[in-house]
Structure formats: structure tokens, C-alpha cells
Amino acid sequence: MAKIMVVDDEAAALRMVLDLCAAAGHEAAGYSRADEALERLEGMAPDLVVADLYLERSQPLGFDLLQRARRISPPAPVILITAFATIGTAVEAMKQGAFDYLEKPFHPDELALRIDRALQLRDTLSENHYLRRQLQLQSKLHPIVGASAAMQRVFRHVQRVADSEATILILGESGTGKELVARALHWQSRRQAAPFVVVDCSAMPEPLLESELFGHRKGAFTGAIHDKKGLFLEADGGTVFLDEVASMSATLQSRLLRVLQEHEIRRVGDNISVPVNVRVVAATNEPLERKVQAGTFREDLYYRLNVIALPLPPLRERREDIPLLVRHFFRSRIRPGQGEPFCVSRRVMAALLAYDWPGNVRELENALERAATLGESNVIQVADLPPALQAVAAQLPEEIGSDPEDSAAGQEPAPIGGSGGLSAAPAPAPAPADSVLPLLRHFLREQEFQHIQRALAVSGGDKEKAAEILGISMATLYRKLVECENAAASGDA
Ligand SMILES: Nc1ncnc2c1ncn2[C@@H]1O[C@H](COP(=O)(O)OP(=O)(O)OP(=O)(O)O)[C@@H](O)[C@H]1O
Ligand SMILES: [Mg+2]
């Protein structure tokens, strides 16, 4: 039984369609006006809309109905009944998203047939819709931020291999986003609707991990008071993410190898195997080759896991992603209870760019969280940073953000003319690697550029007014604009 919304401005025709729906066992509600139907659309959330609207007359409400029916969740297909005279409109209606149209006069059986077909489509639609929603939700919940060439390569790699059935080994230092990438692989694969199960192989002693992964029979060992299914079976149809796979014991390595080779699993204390269909994504932050050479990791398992290797670059090799990550964390996870969102001072941004980040993105996230908690205003200052970062900041050239008000970066573009600019290269640059200053300069220039664009937008393109808003001379504004253009032309901005 489906919920059908019937809209027809002719009473007798409306009755006929309603009767036909009822005879087919559907629950139908009739409306004689498009505006009434529109009003009820979301509340009713019908599975299908059958509309006979003299569309020319009921425009734009008739088209509104078509479009809104597509936007409710899940979308409802619309069958349009139309008189020959309005065929042109019907074609337009199909373009606007009507699923089907039926010309008058028609046989009731014909309408019944179309209704069945539309409802079938709706089932498929709602399934796809569900999956798509999940995908959107997932990518919103766990977006992977990165504009650097290195991360763009990772994204392409993920896209290429996500839908293959091959086992994937994600390699990367701690905090580089291995779990995030494993999730992305799952959500971009055909297995997306089945479970994604994370197992940290370093977090448990061997016997516990064994029964966690493979399950056990009741009575298999002291304490096994119930049958346990095990995570591989829980994840059937989906993906198992084995984090820190290097720390698996020899026994577990051979059991895992069996799962990968035979696609079957035997619970602890059981002597029969059952088939299991999982894709394994593994991760490690220590090179497995070395463990293989040392004889602590099975070579055959290594080759099985390493069918596709997906290396993640450490943060210090893609520093240009740091400002993006800062913005991302301040927009998503780290937010003040009320008031302006957090941002960082220029000197803090310089320190973040200069630091080496042994703990990678996780360390960055933690540092920002800590600073946001300790800081007294929404603009994070050097004093709010962890000691290691304060030490880096202490070695930065004084010119960077030395203004006592230390204008903010990473959120709103900083005002130019004051502390910012950095148009003259700071003379001696002791601590940060040579690569950091250009990055910082690039970042500040980008902010400056955005600020100028905004001033120009506010002034309606009037450069004189824009210069006034910015508190700089016309000459400076022109120079800045030329600088920005040159930088853009050289691919720097
Ligand atoms: N590119 C990124 N964009 C957004 N957030 C990221 C990115 N990389 C990592 N993170 C965040 O940093 C934290 C650490 O990421 P994740 O747990 O995926 O790293 P990992 O490599 O598995 O770390 P570990 O080796 O410590 O287990 C998470 O909060 C994650 O959301
Ligand atoms: Mg991890």
C-alpha cells in the first residue's frame, strides 16, 4: 500500500482517480487546488503524486508542486495527467522532473499501470536516496581536507581503488588520517550500505583480540559464557579496518591470512568454518618490510595485505594544507559556546606553518583544541600554544605579527596596512625552514587579496572608496592589485 496524493481541479475526474487508487489498495488523498496540495506535500510525504493540472492556469504553483515533490525526502515521483492542448507544457513538466504523463482521455487500466511503474521507481529511488544521504552525511561528518598536490594525489588514488575488492594497506605516520581514508574507501565502495568495522590491533592482548575478531563458541575458554559472532562476521558484506596491523601476533597473522585466502572464518572453539565476505583495509605506521625482514611479520601475509599500498604524506610535507585544516577545525569541531568562531593570530599561524608536526594532523587538532580552551579571546595567541610551538614562535622573525594587537589570521582576512603585508621580506630568518616563509607570505597575500575583494564588493567596484574602507592610499591599492594579479599569473596565489 502506498500513499498517493491526487490533485485535480475537476471534481468528477478527481473522484475517478481516487477510486482507482483505493481499488488498487492504496491510501489516497485528493486536492482540487495546487496551493492546497503544496501546503500538504511535506506533511503527507506521499509516495507518489498524480496531478491533473491545467498547468498554464495554475502556474507557477503547478511547477512548484513538481519541483517540491522531487525535493521531499525521499522524493515522490509525479504522474502528470494532461489534455492534448497542453502537451507543450507536459514536455516542460517532464523537464522539470515529472516522472510520467498521461494524455486525456485515458483508460483507467492505463493509469493503474503507470501508477505501479512509478511506485516501483520510487522504491529504487528511495534506496538510492538513502545511500546518497548516507554518503553526504559521511563526507560531511568526516571530510578529508587537503589542497596540496600530495593530498590531491591521495584523493585520486582513493577514488581509483575504492570500488576494487583488493585489500589495501594504508601507510602513514601517526595522525596522518589513516582511519579517515579507510572510511572514505568504504563510503565510496559498493559496500557502503554494509558495516564499517574498526579494529585497533594494538589495543588488546592476543586472546581477546582473537575472539573479538573471529568470535568464539560458548565454553571455548573460561569466561566464554555465550556464543560470540566476532567482528569479521559482524562486518559481513562490509569493510574491516585493521589499524596497527603490524602489532598482530604470529597466531593471529596466520588466522588473518586464512580469512584473506579462503574467505572463511572459524570461531574460537569451533571446528567448522563459515564463509565471510569482507574487504580488509589495513593500516600501519611502521614499515612492515622491516618486520618481515626481522621475521616478526609473515611475508605471505604482507603480500596479501599490500596488494594496493596507499601512502599518506606527513603534514610537514604539505604545509600549505595547515591554514585549511585550521579553518576546518574551527568551523567544525572546535567552536566556542557562543560568540565569534576561533581564529589564530598571524604569529600563531606562522608558528603552525614552521613547526614539524611529528604527530601530524591529530597533533594540530589537539594543539588548537588546547589553545581554544586556554585562550582568553577568540583570537588564539602564542601564549595559548603548547610549549613546543611556543618555542618555534620564539624563533620567528619579529616582523611577523609583531603588532601589539596581533591581527587575526586563519579566519577573516587580516587588515592590511598595519601589521600585515610582509611585503618586505623579514631579514634574518633563524628557525623556520626556508620553505616556511614563502608559504606564510603566500597565505597572508591570499588573505589580503580576499580582503581587497571584499572591500571592492562593498564599494561596488569603486577603487577610491575601497581604498578608503581599507585605510590605504590609492597607490597602495593599485600596487596590491598588481601584486595579486602577478601572483595569480605565476600560479602562486
Ligand atoms: N586531511 C584531514 N582532514 C581533516 N581531518 C583530518 C585529516 N587528517 C586527519 N584528520 C583528523 O586528525 C585526527 C587523526 O586522524 P586519523 O585517526 O585518521 O589518523 P591515523 O593516521 O589513523 O592516526 P593514528 O596512527 O594515530 O591512529 C582525526 O581527528 C581526523 O579526523
Ligand atoms: Mg588510527
Q: Check whether residue 308 and residue 322 sit in a common domain.
A: no
Domain assignment present for residue 394? The answer is yes
- Which CB contacts under 8 angstroms, 24+ apart, belong to 483-489? 483/423, 483/445, 484/445, 484/448, 484/449, 484/452, 487/442, 487/445
Mean pLDDT of 245-260: 93
* pLDDT over 70 at 35, yes or no: yes
User: What is the distance in angstroms between the CA of the first residue and the CA of the last residue of the chain?
Assistant: 58
Q: Check whether residue 173 and residue 128 sit in a common domain.
A: no
Question: Of the candidates 279, 289, 212, which has an alpha carbon nearest to the alpha carbon of residue 240?
Answer: 279
pLDDT digits (tens, 9 = 90+) for 82-100: 775 555 666 677 766 677 8
Q: Check whether residue 250 and residue 379 sit in a common domain.
A: no
* pLDDT over 70 at 59, yes or no: no
Q: Check whether residue 63 and residue 40 sit in a common domain.
A: yes
* pLDDT over 90 at 409, yes or no: no
**CATH number of the domain that residue 263 is part of:** 3.40.50.300
pLDDT tier at 127, thresholds 50, 70, 90: low
pLDDT digits (tens, 9 = 90+) for 386-405: 999 999 999 887 777 654 44
- The reply to whether ligand 1 has any atom less than 6 angstroms from the CB of 493 is no
Span from the CA of 183 to the centroid of ligand 2 (angstroms): 11
Domain assignment present for residue 144? The answer is no
- The reply to whether ligand 1 has any atom less than 6 angstroms from the CB of 8 is no
Question: Of the candidates 102, 92, 93, which has an alpha carbon nearest to the alpha carbon of residue 17?
Answer: 102
- Which CB contacts under 8 angstroms, 24+ apart, belong to 448-452? 448/413, 448/414, 448/416, 448/420, 448/421, 448/480, 448/484, 449/413, 449/480, 449/484, 449/493, 450/413, 451/412, 451/413, 451/414, 451/415, 451/416, 452/416, 452/477, 452/480, 452/481, 452/484
Q: Which of 155, 179, 243 to mutate to test the pocket of ligand 1 (most atoms within 8 A of CB)?
A: 179
Domain stops at, among 87, 113, 135: 135
- The reply to whether ligand 1 has any atom less than 6 angstroms from the CB of 146 is yes
Minimal-distance CA residue to ligand 1 atom 25: 174
Domain assignment present for residue 270? The answer is yes
pLDDT digits (tens, 9 = 90+) for 427-439: 333 344 555 666 7
- The reply to whether ligand 1 has any atom less than 6 angstroms from the CB of 324 is no
pLDDT digits (tens, 9 = 90+) for 281-312: 999 998 899 999 999 999 999 999 999 999 99
- The reply to whether ligand 1 has any atom less than 6 angstroms from the CB of 179 is yes
pLDDT tier at 118, thresholds 50, 70, 90: confident
Domain assignment present for residue 143? The answer is no
pLDDT digits (tens, 9 = 90+) for 148-159: 899 999 998 998
- Tell me the residue range of the domain where 445 lies: 317-489
Half-sphere exposure of 66 (CA within 13 A, CB side): 26
- The reply to whether ligand 1 has any atom less than 6 angstroms from the CB of 313 is no
Q: Which atom of ligand 1 is nearest to the CA of 170?
A: 21
Ligand closest to CA 314: 1
pLDDT for position 190: 87
Q: Check whether residue 382 and residue 479 sit in a common domain.
A: yes
Q: Which atom of ligand 1 is nearest to the CA of 200?
A: 27
Minimal-distance CA residue to ligand 1 atom 15: 177
Calculate the average pLDDT of the chain: 82
Span from the CA of 455 to the centroid of ligand 2 (angstroms): 43
Q: Check whether residue 433 and residue 343 sit in a common domain.
A: yes
**CATH number of the domain that residue 341 is part of:** 1.10.8.60
Span from the CA of 180 to the centroid of ligand 2 (angstroms): 8
- The reply to whether ligand 1 has any atom less than 6 angstroms from the CB of 139 is no
* pLDDT over 90 at 469, yes or no: no
- The reply to whether ligand 1 has any atom less than 6 angstroms from the CB of 184 is no
pLDDT for position 141: 62
Mean pLDDT of 325-329: 92
Domain stops at, among 280, 313, 346: 313
- The reply to whether ligand 1 has any atom less than 6 angstroms from the CB of 215 is no
Span from the CA of 256 to the centroid of ligand 1 (angstroms): 25
Domain stops at, among 313, 346, 380: 313
Q: Check whether residue 337 and residue 352 sit in a common domain.
A: yes
pLDDT for position 180: 94
Domain assignment present for residue 140? The answer is no
pLDDT for position 137: 55
Domain assignment present for residue 11? The answer is yes
pLDDT digits (tens, 9 = 90+) for 438-453: 677 777 777 777 778 8
Span from the CA of 487 to the centroid of ligand 2 (angstroms): 38
Residues with CB under 5 A from ligand 2 (ion): 179, 243
Q: What pTM value is reported for the model? A: 0.64
**CATH number of the domain that residue 107 is part of:** 3.40.50.2300
**How many domains are there within the chain?**
3
- Which CB contacts under 8 angstroms, 24+ apart, belong to 153-159? 154/181, 154/310, 154/312, 154/313, 157/310, 158/184, 158/185, 158/188, 158/310, 159/188
